[in-house]
Structure 1
Amino acid sequence: MYHPQVGDPLEALDTPSMIVDIALMEENIVRLMQRFREKRVHVRPHLKTVKSPELARLLLAAGAIGGCVAKVSEAEVMAQGGIEDLLITTEVVGKPKLLRLVDLVRQHPRIKVVVDSLAGAQALDQAMSAAQVEVNVLIDLNVGQNRCGVLPGEEALMLAQQLSKMSNIHLVGVQGYEGHLQHIHDPEERGRRCQQAMQALTETAAQLRAKGFPIEIVTTGGTGTAEICANCAEITEVQPGSFVFMDTDYRNALGPAYANALTILSTVISKPTPTRAVVDAGLKSLSIESGMPEPKGLTGIAYQPGGDEHGILTWSMSAASALTPLEIGDRIEFIPSHIDTTINLHDTYYAHRNGRLEAIWPVTARGKVQ
């Protein structure tokens, strides 16, 4: 059985395979880190995108101060891979999760979590107290996404006062994620609404400090808004993740700010008609909740899923004369519409430079949803 090796050409890969253009990825990382270095804002990339300690270490080497994860199980993978300074950006609720968190924080005390309720904070404090462990927390604010988070202002102040009475959790900051603004195409609207969200976040941070609470961290921002957030002087760190690889959804919102460095390599396995071909990459290889993936370099050809294992490519007869004919056996790269969920469908990154494999990274945190 063939197993790809570093040094092999891309042509040796079976399909579908998830491939990374290392040069483009490196350019994306350098470009983002330089932008925030100039703004004097820390970068804490969200690792739910890359799902890999190897890639997290590359981000740390480039200047990141740590990482974000969405779930305790992701934190376990990253901590085992040597990533110590982690923020779990989703509330940790329920006895099984709290027991896992206690074990994790005992071994990796720089891990931080968010809270947005008295009930959640009390359960967290009780779990930590029973294990004689302490943990730093951030208040999660609702800055307009209407997902998790307490309201800015008085509601956040009330929660901070309640947290101050707990012995094993310590308030160190606030988080406000404006996820609903990430993909707004109009830059003026995205900027205006993001500034409103940042005002709610930073004013609450100032109110908490005025009441004597030690707010050291004000964290926010995804790939679509991080640069806008960083223009607000009170922001201490941003949490972009998708910039590493990008996808068509972010590209359509941001333009050519970062390159599409990750694609799914597939093979044409059938051509039933002159205007329809079938590839071996379907719903098990490409996510579609943010739109259809884009055939790279094939303008005028549209993709749609044909089931779990198949993708259908179509084009018009009028466009056929201007297109390079597709034949059975041809290999096509697809740019995902949503990078995070597409990566979660694959076990392995095949990273190449100039068409030759330079690294093979396992997607270690794939499926870590707990």
Structure 2
Amino acid sequence: MKKFTLYSFAALALMLGTASCGDDFLSVEPSSSLPIDGYYTTESRMMESAVAAYDPMQWYDYFGGWAPLSLVWDAMADDMYVGGGNTSDQSQIHLISQYKSDPRNNIDGAWTTSYSGINRSIRLIDNAKDSDLSDDKKALFIAEGRAMRAWYYLVLWKTWGNIPFYEENLTSLPYLADQLTVDQVYEKVVVDLESVLDSEVLPMKQPDEWAGRMTQAAASMIYADYVMYQKDQSRYGKALGYMKAIINSHKYDLVKNYNDLYALDKEWNEEIIFDVNYIAKGGKRTWGDANFTGGTVYPEMIGIDGLTIKCAEGHTPEFTSGWGFGSVSKEVYDAFEDNDRRRDVAILNLDKYARAKFAEGDTVTYGGRYQNTGYFLR
């Protein structure tokens, strides 16, 4: 995956201690630490706070268990099956796909990740308020933090419903927050998002070097997600207005070649409004070392198990094998019309693909793990 500065430069600045002759050289400040009070004064230091707030977006892949949100939510919606080896292979995803999670076996990593993101988003807001930046720069960071806070709450709200909710970080033990109902959470978040969007502080689109940072368009999509999921017809008009603003800005467009949505060299094409950035180059994340830095594990999880492609001379395999999770349901594949070009670009019908490759002189075989359908996310 493409490497973006946003997710790779967030090391904290080091303060080089100085020592003069005399007894005080024994009590110099540690060179690896700085007091937090008064630290976030410059734009570069504020960017450290912003990067910290974005960072948990990468954690959903693995946090105490493999549970990428795309797999979890699509399995809950019956668009795909969990798959893997059997029901005990990442059993937390199998349980939630059947709405049978229990307190001892669930995707609690997503819960912890979301609240970590909320905490850091609020810190970004607070740090911006206390910084020495211009009012315009302060407003930008504050809006960015509020939009991210709404996104992290969206994950919690859609997955768990009634949740502990707070807009200011908890400051004293035992760190208790009121649990609000689904409707109460919805109302608080959308009202705050409306304030962010109507201020138009966020840019409609970020320049290429900041692709992945929050924008007016991304915040608008988060707002529409809330409104449509809630079926709040009283806000359909407002959501539609935000959508029209994205279209009329001419900052985004549909790709002319649908296949470009899946091409590595077409990342952040004109159709992408908001993505989570990962870095694959130099990544060390593996099944046994899930907490190492690396790209998203999702392609490996949904990779075709036991896939073997024996190519004729001059041919190159298009796909590699994986762990066999996330097989697409036949009902989803059949829901497309035969002439819908999106179907066979987005979904790999492996039997159809194998026949086509055989005609070209290649041989394609695979294993077929638990809940295999023969249809895979391409």
Where on the TM-score scale, by shorter chain, does this alignment land: which range?
under 0.3
Q: Which one has more relative contact order, counting CA pairs under 8 Å at least 6 apart?
A: 1
Higher helix share: 2
Q: How does the TM-score come out when normalised to structure 1?
A: 0.27
